[in-house]
Structure 1
Amino acid sequence: MHQFKELLIWKKSRLFCSKIYNVTADFPSEEKFGITNQLRRASVSIASNIAEGSSRNSNKEFARFLEIAIGSAYEVETQLLISSDLGFINEEGITELILLLEEIIKMTSKFRTTLL
C-alpha cells in the first residue's frame, strides 16, 4: 500500500484541480451545469483515482486506478481544448494548464510502469 499524500503525482493533481476550479469560475454562468461541471469533475477524478488506487492491496489494482486517472486527464485535455475553441480560456491560460496536465500524465504513466 502506498501513502498517496506523499506521491508527487497526487500533489500535482491536487494543484491542477485547484487551477481548474479557478479558471472555470470565470466561465459563463450558463455553463455551470455544462462544461464547467464536466471539467471540475474530471479534474477531481485524477487525484481521487490516484488516492483510491493507493489503498488497494496489489500493485496491479493500483496500476488500474492510475490508468483511470490518465483517462480522466485526457478527458480534461479534450474539455480544455473545447473551452478554448468556445473562447472561455485564453491562449496563455490553456497553455499553462495543458503543460501541467501533460506533466501529470507522463509522471503517472511512468509510475504506473514501475508497478507492473
Structure 2
Amino acid sequence: MTRSFKDLIVWQKAHSFVVLVYQATKSYPKFELFGLCSQFQRAAVSIPANIAEGYRRDGKADKLRFLNFAQGSLEECRYYILLSKDLCYIDIETYDLLTTSIEETSKLLNAYYKGVKEHMP
C-alpha cells in the first residue's frame, strides 16, 4: 500500500527523468532558453506532476485522465530528445541516457495506467 505518490516507482522514474532533462538542457544554446529548453522542461515536469495529481483522484475516469496527460507529455518528450540529438544539442551518450530513462518511465506508466483501468472499481 502506498501512502504518497512518492512511493510509486513510476513517479520516482519520472522524477529522475526530469532531473536528467534539466541537466541536459543546461548546455543548450542560450537562444533556446525560451524555446526548446522551456518546452522540453515543461513537458518533462508534466509527467510526474500528472502522476502525482492523478494519484489523489478518487474516480477511475479522473485518475485515468491525469495518467493519460502524463502519457501525452512523455510522448512529447520523446520528440524533444530526438530533436535535441538532431540539432546536436546533446551527444550520443546523453541521448542514450535520456532514451533509456524515458523508455523505463513509459513502460511503468503504461503498466500503471493498465492496472488502474483493469483493477480499480
TM (norm. structure 1) is 0.95
Q: For 1:12 and 1:67, how far apart are their aligned partners in 2?
A: 17
Aligned to 1:12, the other structure's residue is in SS state helix
Trace 1:70-109 onto structure 2 (pairs within 5 A).
70-109=71-110
CA distance in 1, matches of 2:41, 2:90: 15
Summarize the Cα distance change of 1:105–1:2 in structure 2 as closer, same or farther, 3 Å threshold: farther
Structure 1 stretches of 4+ with a deviation exceeding 2 A read none
- Tell me the CA shift for residue 3 of structure 1: 2.4
**Secondary structure class of the residue paired with 1:27:** coil
Q: What does the per-residue CA deviation read over 1:69-114, in whole Å, with 9 as the maximum and x for residues that have no partner?
A: 0110110110110111100011111111111101111111111111
Q: Deviations over 1:18-66 (max 9, x none)?
A: 1100100000001000100011000000010000111111233212211
Structure 2 residue identity aligned to 1:102: E
Q: What corresponds to 1:51 in structure 2?
A: 52
- Structure 2 distance, partners of 1:114, 1:82, is 32
Gaps of 5+ in 2: none
Count residues with an aligned counterpart.
Answer: 116
Q: 5+ residue gaps in structure 1?
A: none
- Aligned-pair identity (%): 35
The RMSD of aligned alpha carbons is: 1.3
Post-superposition shift, 1:15? 1.0
What's the counterpart of residue 35 of structure 2?
Answer: 34
Distance 2:18 2:39 in 1: 12
Letter in 2 for 1:112: Y
